[in-house]
Amino acid sequence: MTDQLPLDRDAAAEAGPPLEAWEVFRREKEGDPMRHGGSVMAPDAVLAMHYAREMFGRRQESVRLWIVRRADILDLDDPDLLQPPLDRSFKKPGGYVMRGKLAIARERSGQSKPKPKPDRPRARVPGPAEPRTNGPKS
Amino acid sequence: MTTIRSSLAVAVPAELRSAVDGLLLSMADDEFVIGFSDSEWTGIAPILEEDVAMSSLAQDELGHAAALYELIAALRDREGLDADAIAYDREPHQYRHARLLDHGRGDWAMTIARRYLYDTADGVRLEALAGSSLAPLRELVDKIRREERYHVMHATAWLERLAARRGEPRDRLIAALEELGPDASTVFAPLNGESALVEGGVLAEPMAALEARWRAAITPVFVRLELPMPADVLDPAHGRTLHGDPFRWLWTEFTSVRRLDPVATW
């Protein structure tokens, strides 16, 4: 009954094996990619699986989960490897202007410019943020 | 709803109706009471993740209870009788859950011990209904079993961890098993009209045979973890009656909102 058990979360956590973080990836429906859902704390892999199931699957919102010990993830955030200081704009396709070449090619083959499909509105998909320092020079 | 009502009322021969009613009520009350007991952990479980897990398990049990009460309402097929009325509008002595579920919430070890004993016993009972001649029950049991599989996994994971950790966790688990043990097999307390249920193909085997199956299933786990096996039940004839004070308290809790305004529409 409610007043029988004084429970101290911290004390309970300290008494057992240490909790560690597990990252959970989920597939919402068949054909979708695995996407990062969030993380759970658990003392071992079995309970991590249980908690991931409860946090990311109990409402039937996932068809597959990957549960990965955070410590096992190869973490790369070295700026020299990922955000080198020199201009890299020449590695981006934006450096090649295709519009004129495409128009000439179309004219030569007698095709008109394809119209946007009305049944598929072209939603703007947010891509990775453009690194401002290396952006194309204006 | 109409189809379930009419199909069930037709499906159950008149001479079996009271026995089927008793079977369904025992199962529904078991799920209802353990669901409410476990929901007492919401907000105070050992860690946040377990809080969500236990609350979710409790909701599953209440969902199973609701579906079983619906079947009972269909079987009784009386005007104005719905699942909520069966679930909430009875006095404490009219509930037919097993005495195993009558010990109050207790500590975490008590909750895990009760969950393990109940979930494994319930699993054996559900297996005996998987081929039931009563189609609506068979179909419901098929769905419930798929969820109960996870419940047994969860209870087993915790039972193993508490048992393996010498000192307070193991001591508390053994104390809980010793307290609950003599009531554990009340899940298999004899039912009225049990032989008719078996002859009619509603239930595969008598409860005594199911208890033997359950004991055989859990013995290897108890031996491996060096835990005390549940003792024989002291008073099997009253295994689902004579509920004590902890249940009276729980009943006061879970009926409190309903009793505020019994005719309210939710």
The string of DSSP letters for B54-100 reads: HHHHHHHHHHHHHHHHHHHHHHH--TT--HHHHHHSS-GGG----GG
Contact present, B131 and B141 (Cβ < 8 Å) = no
Q: Is residue B7 part of a domain?
A: no
Contact present, A19 and A40 (Cβ < 8 Å) = no
The distance of A18 to chain B (nearest Cα, Å) reads 12
What is the rounded average pLDDT for all residues in chain B?
A: 93
pLDDT at A29: 95
Would you call B105 and A5 a contact, using CB atoms and an 8 Å cutoff? yes
What CATH number is given to the structural domain containing A33?
Answer: 3.10.20.520
Would you call A54 and B56 a contact, using CB atoms and an 8 Å cutoff? yes
pLDDT higher than threshold 80 for residue B266:
no
pLDDT higher than threshold 60 for residue A132:
no
Mean pLDDT of B69-98: 90
pLDDT higher than threshold 70 for residue A126:
no
pLDDT higher than threshold 80 for residue A69:
yes
Q: Is residue B10 part of a domain?
A: no
pLDDT tier at A5 (50, 70, 90 boundaries)? very low
The distance of B99 to chain A (nearest Cα, Å) reads 16
Distance (Å, rounded) from C-alpha B5 to C-alpha B75? 7
Q: Is residue B253 part of a domain?
A: yes
Q: Residue B97 sits in which domain range?
A: 16-260
Q: Per the structure, how many domains does chain B have?
A: 1
What CATH number is given to the structural domain containing B110?
Answer: 1.20.1260.10
pLDDT at B243: 92
Distance (Å, rounded) from C-alpha B24 to C-alpha B83? 12
The H or E element that residue A67 is part of is: strand A64-69
Q: Which residue has the higher pLDDT, B60 or A1?
A: B60
pLDDT higher than threshold 90 for residue B49:
yes
pLDDT higher than threshold 70 for residue A1:
no
pLDDT, tens digit, for every residue of A75-114? 999 988 888 888 777 777 766 677 888 889 999 998 887 7
Q: B-chain residues within 8 Å CB-CB of A1? A: 40, 104-105, 246, 249-250
Q: Which residue has the higher pLDDT, A88 or A8?
A: A88
Q: Is residue B185 part of a domain?
A: yes
Q: Per the structure, how many domains does chain A have?
A: 1
> CB of A12 within 8 Å of any CB in chain B?
yes
Q: B-chain residues within 8 Å CB-CB of A55? A: 49, 52
Q: Is residue A98 part of a domain?
A: no
pLDDT at A112: 81
Q: Is residue B187 part of a domain?
A: yes
Q: Is residue A20 part of a domain?
A: yes
Q: Residue A50 sits in which domain range?
A: 2-72
Residue with tokens 């199962």: B27
pLDDT, tens digit, for every residue of B155-198? 999 999 999 999 999 999 999 999 999 999 999 999 999 999 99
The pair of structure tokens assigned to A40 is 């759970």
Q: Is residue A94 part of a domain?
A: no
Q: Is residue B192 part of a domain?
A: yes
Q: A-chain residues within 8 Å CB-CB of B250? A: 1
Q: Is residue B107 part of a domain?
A: yes
pLDDT, tens digit, for every residue of B102-153? 998 999 999 999 999 999 999 999 999 999 999 999 999 999 999 999 999 9
Least confident of B22-26, B139-143, B237-241: B237-241
Q: Is residue B2 part of a domain?
A: no
Q: Is residue A43 part of a domain?
A: yes
